[in-house]
Amino acid sequence: MRNRLFWAVAALLLCRLASAQETVKAYPSNWWVGMKHSSLQIMLHGAGIGEDAKVSVSYPGVQLVEFHRVSNPNYLFIRLQLTPNVRPGRVPIRINNARGAAVRLDYPLLTRRSGKGTSYAQGVTSADFIYFLMPDRFSNGEPGNDRIPGMRDQSLNRDSMYFRHGGDMQGILHHLDYLQGLGVTALWMTPVLENDMPDRTEHGYAFTDHYTIDPRLGGADAYLHLADALHQRGMKLIQDAVYNHVGLYHFLVQDLPERSWLHQWPQYTQTNYRDQPLLDPHASAIDKKLSSDGWFTPQMPDLNQGNPDVAEFLIQHALWCVETFAVDGWRIDTYIYNDLAFMNRCNKALLDEYPRLSLFGEAWVHGTANQAYFARNHLDLPYKSNLPGVVDFQCLFNGILPAVKDTSGAGVNDLYGTLSNDFLYEDPARNVVFLDNHDMSRFFSEAGEDWSALRIGLSWLLTSRGIPQLYYGTEIAMKGFSNPDGLVRMDFPGGWPGDRKNAFSREGLSADERSIQELVRKLGLFRRGSSALKTGKLMQYTPVGGSYVYFRYDEKQTILCAMNTGNKPVRLDFSRYAERTAGFRKGVDVLTGASYSLEQPAELPGRTMWVLELQ
């Protein structure tokens, strides 16, 4: 009945583009000429659009390859082949049903952005410094969008950690000077795609429409504006991608194209949150299936990427985002829970189109070998990942955290040992190193609110190999254990009018908080001009008596980093490091300006890290 009505209405709207677009939506909403991905699948969604549908397309350089329906008549999938010489314009797609009713869509084929690889899709490398934030919690630049009529989540209360707080991309735009002043060169936000869920919308990981930017964050206009502003400053944009799941209120779930779009279980079945079954030669099939096909949460249905239509939908969306929003880096959420064969296909499509784009996956796993399994590695295994880099959880859990927490000084052996396993990766410099994020306890809290631990941690972060990522607020020692996770997602002080404490102006910050922010600023800016820290090699020495010394170096510059995490001072005999100190006479502390002669031993105080530029 509903479908018959639709066709009656559709017939009236014959060839009237504006009306047809209100009724039928196309995904992707546009494409471009001159893309390597020239075999385009358009998914049409509209009441009854797939019923008895016949499709015709007439446009020079565009060939209709096939079209198919799925079990839900509200969808129709059309495959077009674009020839290399196709011109931009509007491609008329005509859909007729058996009763002679017709819908016409004029599908936009646009001209591509200029500057691929230089002004967008540039890649985020170890020469960059990433600032990671949650837009809802950083700064409210536009109170008018705090609540959007018609959206499911109408909460707005900064006193509640799970309600919306009103932060948005305009707020970030207001504070790009602050970020740049810290030496930050790349911005990564938790996802900005629409999350029209009833609650818990602060994190952004439950998409409800891939082709809409959340209006509470400012929508597509604000996102484009932010990308432009970053690029004008020589900064870069990282998008947070989620392929594994969608939000329960996604139209694809509410009006499911076909059962096989989701991983179906007889009753709700959660992932086991384990990485081991995916790589364990002794794993059972059911454990493996639970890892990959179990749902992340009841609110986040698990997409079946083995369905070719799902795979195409996701791949094209990734390409569409990079081209539309001028993205430079691509962070992939819940990487290990995806279909890994699909991930290789998807990564390849992005890298074929954008060879300089950086990809890094969230591989929250248990062990360096496990982590390397999900990245490009030197292992001779049946499954070869093509993912360039990962978020380096091992350097945190089995590295800097044990190092700073153990006041005997012995913890640095974990950090040293973890980095010695870098032989597994094709290029460990592509890994993203970090101290904390939106899912885990704040580093300062984890380290017992010990200021020396935070100073050492940040000094390590900005001098270690890989791409450093700072979670918002860690530069002013924000606290919180991630139990529950809302406690590590507090508002950035100064982001809202009337905030008593303001990290931007430093008003209301304690002396300790200011000193941490100053440390980040000094090291961040120093790093920006330091070839050794940005692209140099790493050489580390076996820790002795609680001291751990490593060098970052290239032909132009040598940086000596010395960490003493124990309570007692240690004697540093520089002659031990002759391999790297030869030709230099002194080391100058990047933070204090103090100078140490390399010709005699120096005393490194307890709970201290030096970053010395050799001269």
Among 214, 312, 362, 513, the active-site one is: 362
3-state secondary structure of 430: helix
Contacts of 221 (CB under 8 A, 6+ apart): none
Specify the stretch interacting with Ca ion by CB under 5 A; choose among 135-143, 409-417, 419-427, 543-551: 135-143
Q: Which is nearer to Ca ion, 45 or 203 (CB)?
A: 203
Q: Which is nearer to Ca ion, 146 or 426 (CB)?
A: 146
CA distances from 321 to 316, 434, 477 (A): 9, 25, 34
Residues numbered 355-394 forming contacts with Ca ion, rule: CB under 5 A: none
Q: Which is nearer to Ca ion, 489 or 607 (CB)?
A: 489
Q: What strands lie across the sheet with 329-332, from one edge to the other?
A: 389-390, 358-361, 329-332, 236-241, 186-189, 130-133, 467-471, 432-434
Smallest distance from Ca ion to CB 436, Å = 25
Q: Angle 340-353/308-325 helices, nearest 10 degrees? A: 30
> Residues 91-130: x/- map of binding to Ca ion (CB under 5 A)?
----------------------------------------
Q: Please select the residue that binds Ca ion; options are 146, 353, 426, 554, rule is CB under 5 A.
A: 146
Q: What strands lie across the sheet with 39-45, from one edge to the other?
A: 25-27, 39-45, 75-82, 62-69
Smallest distance from Ca ion to CB 170, Å = 7
3-state secondary structure of 565: coil
Q: Which is nearer to Ca ion, 135 or 466 (CB)?
A: 135
Smallest distance from Ca ion to CB 166, Å = 4
Specify the stretch interacting with Ca ion by CB under 5 A; choose among 72-80, 146-154, 351-359, 587-595: 146-154
Specify the stretch interacting with Ca ion by CB under 5 A; choose among 138-146, 202-210, 380-388, 438-446: 138-146
Q: Which is nearer to Ca ion, 146 or 450 (CB)?
A: 146
Spatial separation of the C-alpha atoms in residues 241 and 550, rounded to whole Å: 34
51 binds Ca ion (CB under 5 A): no
**Is 333 one of the catalytic residues?**
yes
Among 51, 202, 333, 446, the active-site one is: 333
Specify the stretch interacting with Ca ion by CB under 5 A; choose among 45-53, 159-167, 398-406, 433-441: 159-167
Q: Is the alpha carbon torsion for 521, 523, 529, 531 positive or negative? A: negative
Contacts of 493 (CB under 8 A, 6+ apart): 476, 499, 500, 501, 502, 503, 508, 509
142 binds Ca ion (CB under 5 A): yes
316 binds Ca ion (CB under 5 A): no
Specify the stretch interacting with Ca ion by CB under 5 A; choose among 144-152, 178-186, 516-524, 596-604: 144-152
339 binds Ca ion (CB under 5 A): no
Smallest distance from Ca ion to CB 172, Å = 11
Number of residues this chain uses to bind Ca ion (CB under 5 A): 6
- For 444-504, give the DSSP string: HHHTTT-HHHHHHHHHHHTTSSSEEEEETTGGGT-----SSGGGGSPPPTTSSTT-SS-TT
CA distances from 228 to 93, 222, 359, 489 (A): 33, 10, 21, 27
Q: Which is nearer to Ca ion, 166 or 480 (CB)?
A: 166
Spatial separation of the C-alpha atoms in residues 285 and 276, rounded to whole Å: 12
Specify the stretch interacting with Ca ion by CB under 5 A; choose among 8-16, 52-60, 136-144, 395-403: 136-144
CA 438 from centroid of its chain's CA atoms: 12
Smallest distance from Ca ion to CB 168, Å = 4
Smallest distance from Ca ion to CB 442, Å = 24
CB burial readout 183-208, b (16+ within 10 A) else e: bbbbbbbbbbbbbbbeebbbbbbbbb
Residues numbered 505-534 forming contacts with Ca ion, rule: CB under 5 A: none
Specify the stretch interacting with Ca ion by CB under 5 A; choose among 132-140, 148-156, 401-409, 443-451: 132-140
Q: Please select the residue that binds Ca ion; options are 126, 145, 201, 547, rule is CB under 5 A.
A: 145
Q: Please select the residue that binds Ca ion; options are 51, 153, 168, 312, rule is CB under 5 A.
A: 168
Specify the stretch interacting with Ca ion by CB under 5 A; choose among 62-70, 166-174, 186-194, 267-275: 166-174
- DSSP-assigned beta bridge partners for residue 78: 42, 67
Contacts of 506 (CB under 8 A, 6+ apart): 514, 517
Q: What is the largest CA-CA distance in the chain?
A: 93
Please name the helix (run of DSSP H) or strand (run of DSSP E) that holds residue 2, with its range, or none: helix 2-12
Q: Token pair for residue 240?
A: 């947070």
Smallest distance from Ca ion to CB 145, Å = 5
Q: Which is nearer to Ca ion, 166 or 587 (CB)?
A: 166
140 binds Ca ion (CB under 5 A): yes
Smallest distance from Ca ion to CB 140, Å = 5
> Residues 182-201: x/- map of binding to Ca ion (CB under 5 A)?
--------------------
- DSSP-assigned beta bridge partners for residue 595: 588
Q: Please select the residue that binds Ca ion; options are 48, 166, 301, 493, rule is CB under 5 A.
A: 166
In terms of Cα–Cα distance, which of 434, 437, 359 is closest to 401?
434
Q: Which is nearer to Ca ion, 146 or 512 (CB)?
A: 146
Spatial separation of the C-alpha atoms in residues 517 and 473, rounded to whole Å: 9
Smallest distance from Ca ion to CB 500, Å = 20
Q: Which is nearer to Ca ion, 153 or 168 (CB)?
A: 168
**Is 255 one of the catalytic residues?**
no
CA 577 from centroid of its chain's CA atoms: 38
Smallest distance from Ca ion to CB 131, Å = 19
Q: Angle 511-528/451-461 helices, nearest 10 degrees? A: 10
Q: Which is nearer to Ca ion, 145 or 239 (CB)?
A: 145
Q: Which is nearer to Ca ion, 190 or 358 (CB)?
A: 190
Spatial separation of the C-alpha atoms in residues 260 and 309, rounded to whole Å: 10
Structural contact between residues 84 and 38, judged by C-beta atoms closer than 8 angstroms: yes
Smallest distance from Ca ion to CB 496, Å = 10
Structural contact between residues 397 and 411, judged by C-beta atoms closer than 8 angstroms: no
Spatial separation of the C-alpha atoms in residues 208 and 251, rounded to whole Å: 6
Catalytic residue annotation:
333, 362
Residues that bind Ca ion (CB under 5 A): 140, 142, 145-146, 166, 168
